[in-house]
Amino acid sequence: MPHTLALIALLPLVGFLVNGFFATALGRHRTNERTAGLIGSAFPLAAFALTIKAFFDLQAGGFAPIVEPLYRWALIGTSSFEIAFYFDRLSAIMTLVVTGVGSVIHIYSTGYMHNDKSFGRFFAYLNLFLFFMLLLVLGRSMLVLFVGWEGVGLASYLLIGFWFDDLANAKAGRKAFITNRIGDAGFLLGMFLLYRAFGTLDMDTINSAFVSGTGAALLVPASLVGLLLFVGATGKSAQIPLYVWLPDAMAGPTPVSALIHAATMVTAGVYLTARMSGIYMMAPEASQVIAVVGVLTAFFAATVALVQTDIKKVLAYSTVSQLGFMFLALGVGAYGVAIFHVVTHAFFKACLFLGAGSVIHALGGEQDIRKMGGLRHKIPLTFWTFAIATAAIAGIPGLAGFFSKDEILWYAFASAKGGAPWLWGVAALTALMTAFYMFRLLWLTFMGASRMSHEVEHHVHESPLSMTGVLMLLALLSAGGGYIAIPHFLEPQIPLPPIVESLEHYEHTLLYVSIVLAFAGLGLAVFMFGGPASRPEGIKQAMRPIHRLLSGKYFVDELYERVIVKPLAWFSDVVLLRGGDKMLLDGSLHGLASLAQRTASVVSRVQTGSLHVYALLVMVGIVGALLWSWRHV
Amino acid sequence: MGVIALLSAVLMLVIREPMRVALALITTMVMLGGIYGLLGVHFIAAFQVLIYVGAVMVFMVYVIMLLEVREAPGHARYSRWLVPGVMACATLIAVLGISVYRSSAEVLTAPGGAPFSLTQFSTLFLSEYWLEFELTSVFLVAVIVAALAVIKVSRRAHG
Amino acid sequence: MDKVQLLLLLSGALFSLGLLGVIVRRNALVMLMCLELMLNGVNLSLVTFSQQRGDAAGAVLVFLVFVVATAEIALAIPIVLLLVRFKRSMDIDRYSDLKG
């Protein structure tokens, strides 16, 4: 069927329009909640079905990429910009994840957002987000990708600040958008360089040119372009230094956190880098930078997650950390492995976030884990799904996270394209911390004695089926998702890096180390938090300064505020507003006006009202005219 | 005759009372009429005396008598711009004189035709310059209308 | 000097004196009369040229000047009358309402 890909992208857009016009305040809430929820979920599901079909089409064609041109957007001079869709193994995986996980999160939202006054608006925005995300992953040229890129930024802003009556939420949305834009500057510069060299932004063309090392590829400084694109990725995928928006983004409703800030949008940077792997294969310096930034981000975020007390903040920092892992993989050339981790992360992180949402829903809005505990028997479904997802992220063998994370650690150590023991060391330490803080979260939330207040405890109830059903599905995927051998699926398109020969035999050793780390983390967490409260308290007192540093998120936000935001605000106000706008522009306008006025008042003195003067001037004029006529005598 | 005309003109500038100024002007005009006669264009001379002296100046004299202006003894005769005016006037006369003096001989001594007659003049009016002829009629009508308007204004102001 | 030149000089002199009169005299009626003097000067030069060239077109123009002069007087005098009535003076220097 022609235009399948376009339809996949456009169906959610239709959902956005329908819900946007009928289910919102704009449409005077014509449809009721059920209809809005139905429409909102139906379109993504339809898109998912189409994606499956497209996948089978792809398979039938021997996995040759399907190119679907749509129309020509612009013709400027001799350069033409086409809108076209592209479906190959990589896009297939991404699209399946986006539509699949997206659809189930929509279904979850029908339960979670029940009785919210802006129910329709929520689904409209969520559909809009899906539309842009699909543009991003299905686009053939970087231009379409960029449209999607910006669009998901917009949707993210709208959804983070969804409950904008609270100013803090609106500010968080703004922070996300602006931080993103800073990264986009780098992205744009990279695109300009590529366009100048290639005359087109089609990613498949650019990639193959780089891989074969021919033609225009030689003109482009691959490392520079790689770094610039990575700057864009740091903004979108929350790496150092532009990760600061992600924890604040937790102000949005939990399904938003799950979909956008765990499963899909934040992985856009990873997708971009994997897609442009041709450039990175030719740019060892850029790749090295990516790997280092990735592993450092992973490490630092994990340290902060150790001491967070808000259930969603723990998960937010965990996301930043896991994204760091993905970039580590990208940096050492294991692009397929990074995508593998994207998929497994989507499963378990979405499950975790939605589970957290279920907990929050059960507790009537409480998010502080110090006020939880003992929920295990009260909301068992939520507990078990959360536990499975936690085990997955911690890397307990057999579950999805174990496979993808272990591959990343292996390649970090042994890849011939930048792997190094110290990368592995830091990453392994981070993995240990991941296990620890995730089990800490599990224990403090569900186990032990209840620290809830009485009324809250009284109202605790399991979530409706729309929510728990999704949780169960995602938990299943978290458990079994690791068996889908994605890196090998992607290999024909994106090759895995070669392994340093001398290190080959370490593979099994490292595997055991990973298992040990996972269980060590589990054990430590149980030890600390399974026993009396005095144990963690004691440690906290002993390491007070470090604890303060970590709780304060290394005070990075404060640093940015002091160093960047305040000077910028000062500059805008004093130089641009007062100096430039008021003085220069207003001043020149007023100056011109008063100049005209003064000239007029001076000149108008000629009209004295006295006839004598006029007659005198006439005479003088005549004399002058006559004298003038003498020139040619 | 030209001398007398010039003299009267200068007198016009000097004399105080408007009545006497009017007399000086009449003198000038009559002298000019004489000059026209000497030049041979008798009908124009007739027009000059008839229209100018006969109608215009009579009207002028009538108005002067009507307004009965009497100026206060210390009243200045001239405006502020006497000196600059005289200087400019002298310059103008000088310039004109020089132009006339310098003007090429051809223009001045062109073979003049016979002095034309009234017949010639009238036929010209009705043939070549008939448009101007009609326009003057229109013009005069306009003048009459304007005069009526002025009367109305004056009536409204008065009553 | 030639007769024609003399006449032209006279004409110019009459015109200038008339203009001077407009500049110099303060009485409104006298100003009007000086205007008439200017017109006369112009007429003289027209007649001179016309006669010298034998072309009656000049005479036509002279006639038209007569007409215009008459009309002008017919209107100017009532206006002066009104002005005098409002300003209660014939002094031109008092008529500076259009100043600025």
Dihedral sign, Cα of residue B19, residue B20, residue B25, residue B27: positive
Distance from CA of C88 to the nearest CA of B (A): 11
Q: What is the pLDDT of residues A439-459, one digit of tens each?
A: 888 888 888 777 777 777 777
User: For position B104, what pLDDT does the model report?
Assistant: 59
Residues 39-58 (C) with a CB less than 8 A from some CB of B? 40, 43-44, 47-48, 50-57
Q: Which residue has the higher pLDDT, A77 or A624?
A: A624
Interchain proximity A622–B85, CB inside 8 Å: no
Q: Which of A477, A305, A518, A339 is nearest to A411 (CA)?
A: A339
How distant is the Cα of C99 from the closest Cα of chain B, in angstroms?
17
pTM of the model: 0.70
Residue A421 has pLDDT above 60, yes or no: yes
Q: How far is Cα A359 from Cα A337, in angstroms, rounded to an integer?
A: 32
Chain-chain contact of C17 with B109 (C-beta, under 8 angstroms) = no
Burial class (CB in 10 A: 0-12, 13-18, 19+), C83: middle
Å between A596 CA and nearest CA of chain C: 16
C78/B150 touch (CB, cutoff 8 Å), yes or no: yes
Q: Determine how many CB atoms are found less than 10 A away from the CB of residue A240.
A: 18
How far off is chain A from B92, nearest CA to CA, in Å?
Answer: 6
B85 touching chain A per CB within 8 A: yes
Judged by CB atoms closer than 8 Å, whether chains meet at C100 and A607 is answered as: yes
Report DSSP state, residue B57: I
* Structure-block tokens of residue A88: 């190959």
> In terms of residue numbers, what domain contains A569?
559-588
Residue that terminates a domain, selected from B12, B40, B70:
B70
Q: Which amino acid is at B141?
A: V
Query: How many Cα atoms are found within 13 Å in the side-chain-facing hemisphere of C47?
Result: 29
Residue B11 in any domain: the answer is yes
Rounded-to-integer distance, Cα A167 and Cα A69, Å:
43
Cα dihedral value A538, A542, A545, A547, nearest 10: -30
Kindly report which listed range (A571-575, B155-159, C24-28, C73-77) carries the lowest average pLDDT score.
B155-159
pLDDT, averaged across chain A: 84
pLDDT one-digit tens code per residue, C59-97? 888 888 999 998 999 888 888 888 877 777 767 666 666
Chain A residue with CA closest to B86: the answer is: A616
The answer to whether the beta carbons of residues C13 and B93 sit under 8 Å apart is yes
Q: CA torsion angle for A488, A489, A490, A491 (degrees, to 10)? A: 40
φ/ψ of A327, rounded to 5, equals -70, -30
Query: Does a structural domain hold residue A424?
Result: no
How much is the pLDDT for A492? 74
Residue B46 sits in a domain whose CATH number is: 1.20.120.1200
What pLDDT is stored for residue A249 in this prediction? Answer: 86
Helix (H, G, I), strand (E, B) or coil at A97: helix
CA distance A353 to A331: 28
Residues 6+ apart with CB under 8 A from A155: A125, A126, A128, A129, A132, A260, A265
A70-91 CB burial, b ≥16 within 10 A, e <16: beeeeeeeeeeebbbbbbbbbb
CB neighbours of residue A510 within 10 Å: 18
Instruction: Say if residues A269 and A322 touch (Cβ distance below 8 Å).
Output: no
Q: Mutate which of A610, A620, A626 to disrupt the C interface (most C C-beta within 10 Å)?
A: A610
Is A399 within a domain?
no
| A604 interaction partners in chain C (CB closer than 8 Å) | 100
C-alpha span between A140 and A21 (Å, rounded):
31
- In C, minimum Cα distance to A623 occurs at C16
C50 burial level (CB within 10 Å; 0-12, 13-18, 19+): buried
What are the pLDDT digits (tens) for B71-122?
554 566 676 677 777 888 888 888 888 877 776 555 555 555 555 667 777 7
Whether residue C17 and residue B64 make contact (CB cut-off 8 A), yes or no, is no
Task: Choose among A282, A300, A280, A154: nearest CA to A228.
Answer: A280
B115: nearest Cα among C50, A178, C87, C14: C50
Nearest by CB to A610, from C16, C20, C96: name it: C96
Residue A31 covered by a domain: yes
pLDDT in tens, A170-198: 888 888 888 888 888 889 998 888 888 88
Q: Do C21 and B120 touch (CB under 8 A)?
A: no
Q: Which secondary structure element, helix H or strand E, spans residue A254, and what is its range?
A: helix A254-258
Chain B nearest C-alpha distance from A586 (Å): 46
Q: Does residue B3 carry a pLDDT above 60? A: yes
Return the pLDDT at B141. Answer: 92
Say what the alpha-carbon torsion angle A261, A264, A268, A269 is, to the nearest 10 degrees: 50
- CB contact B102 to A (< 8 Å): yes
* Closest Cα in chain A, distance from residue C69 (Å): 18
Cβ–Cβ contact B27 with C under 8 A: no
Percent share of chain A, pLDDT over 70: 97
Would the CB atoms of B88 and A627 count as touching at under 8 Å?
no
- Choose among C20, C24, C98: nearest Cβ to A609: C98
Query: A588-598, pLDDT tens digit by residue?
Result: 888 888 889 88
Q: C5 pLDDT exceeds 60?
A: yes
Q: Which amino acid is at A449?
A: A
pLDDT for residue C97: 66
What are chain C's partners, defined as 3 or more CB pairs within 8 angstroms? A, B
Whether B62 maps to a domain, the answer reads: yes
Chain C contact for B122 (CB, 8 A cutoff): no
Q: How far is B26 from chain C (nearest CA, A)?
A: 10
Whether A623 and B102 lie within 8 Å, measured CB to CB: no
ipTM score assigned to the predicted complex? 0.86
What CA–CA distance (Å, rounded) separates A256 from A490?
A: 29
From the list A230, A519, A306, A291, the residue with the least C-alpha distance to A424 is A291
Q: Give phi and psi for B112, each to the nearest 5.
A: -75, 140
For residue A489, what are the contacts with CB-CB under 8 A and spacing of at least 6? A89, A93, A336
Query: Given B80, B88, B99, which is nearest A619 (Cβ)?
Result: B88
Q: Is residue B138 part of a domain?
A: yes
A620: nearest CB among B88, B96, B102: B88
Query: Cβ B79–A612 below 8 Å, yes or no?
Result: yes
Strand partners, A71: A83
Final residue of a structural domain among B31, B54, B70: B70
Instruction: Tell me how close the Cα of A604 comes to any Cα of chain B, in angstroms.
Output: 20
Residue A603 to residue A590: CA distance in whole angstroms: 20
**Which pLDDT does position A215 carry in this prediction?**
64
Q: In the numeric block, which tokens belong to residue A509?
A: 């050793």
H helix runs in chain B, sequence order: 2-14, 18-39, 42-47, 58-67, 82-102, 105-108, 118-127, 130-158
Does residue A178 lie in a domain region?
no
What would the two tokens of residue A107 be?
């279904």
Q: State yes or no: pLDDT of A326 exceeds 70.
A: yes
Q: What is the pLDDT of residue A133?
A: 92
Q: Which phi and psi angles does A415 have, rounded to 5°?
A: -70, 140
CA-nearest of C46, C63, C34 to B50 is C63
**Which residues of B fall within a CB distance of 8 Å from C90?**
67, 69
- The structural architecture, per CATH, of the domain C3-89 is Orthogonal Bundle (1.10)
Q: Enumerate the β-bridge partners of residue A72.
A: A82
**Residue found under tokens 């009705």:** B126
Residues B64 and B122 in one domain: no
Q: What is the pLDDT of residues A104-136, one digit of tens each?
A: 898 898 888 887 888 888 888 999 999 999 999
Residue B64 lies in a domain: yes
**Nearest Cβ partner for A611 among C16, C92, C100:** C92
d(CA A245, CA A553): 12
How confident is the model over B22-28, as a mean pLDDT? 88
Task: State how far the Cα of A108 lies from the Cα of A262, in Å rounded to an integer.
Answer: 15
Helix (H, G, I), strand (E, B) or coil at A607: coil
Please report the pLDDT score of residue B124 as a whole number.
72
User: A622 vs chain B: nearest CA distance in angstroms?
Assistant: 8
Tell me which H or E stretch contains A76: strand A66-76
- Six-digit token pair at A547? 């604890």
Based on the structure, what is the number of domains in chain B?
Answer: 2
> Domain of B44?
1-70
Please check whether residue B131 lies inside any domain of the structure: yes
Alpha-carbon gap, residue A494 to A274, rounded angstroms: 8
Per residue in A14-69, pLDDT (tens digit) is 888 888 887 777 767 776 777 778 888 888 888 898 888 888 888 888 777 888 88
What is the model's pLDDT at position A146? Answer: 92
Name the nearest CA neighbour of A98 among A267, A288, A214.
A267
**Sequence-distant (≥ 6) Cβ neighbours of residue C13 within 8 angstroms:** B6, B9, B93, B96, C41
Total domains in the fold of chain A: 2
Helix (H), strand (E) at residue A83: strand A79-87
How many whole angstroms separate alpha carbon A92 and alpha carbon A493? 12
A554 CB neighbour count, 10 Å cutoff: 13
Residue A398 has pLDDT above 70, yes or no: yes
**Considering the domain boundaries, does residue B40 fall inside one?**
yes
The tens digit of pLDDT for each residue in A510-556 reads 888 888 888 888 888 888 877 776 677 777 777 777 777 777 777 77
Contact between A390 and A438 under an 8 Å Cβ cutoff? The reply is: yes
- pLDDT computed for residue C42 by the predictor: 92
Cα A438 to Cα A447: distance, rounded to the nearest angstrom:
13
Taking each continuous run of H as one helix and of E as one strand, the counts in chain A are: 28, 2
- Which positions in chain A have a beta carbon within 8 angstroms of at least one beta carbon in chain B? 612-613, 616, 619-620, 622-623, 626-627, 630, 633
- The span from the first CA to the last CA of chain B, in angstroms, equals 50
Interface test with B, best of A610, A620, A632 (most B CBs within 10 A): A620
Give the mean model confidence (pLDDT) for residues A612-633.
83
Question: Which residue has tokens 């010298």?
Answer: C52
d(CA B12, CA C77): 19
Is A618 in Cβ contact with C19 (below 8 Å)? yes
- Is there a domain that residue B158 lies in? yes
Smallest Cβ distance to B63: which of C17, C29, C47? C29
> Please, what is the average pLDDT of chain C?
82
Integer Cα distance of A179 and A448 in angstroms: 40
Instruction: Give whole-number Cα distances, A532 to A341, A377, A529, A539, in Å.
Output: 36, 20, 7, 13
pLDDT of residue A216: 63
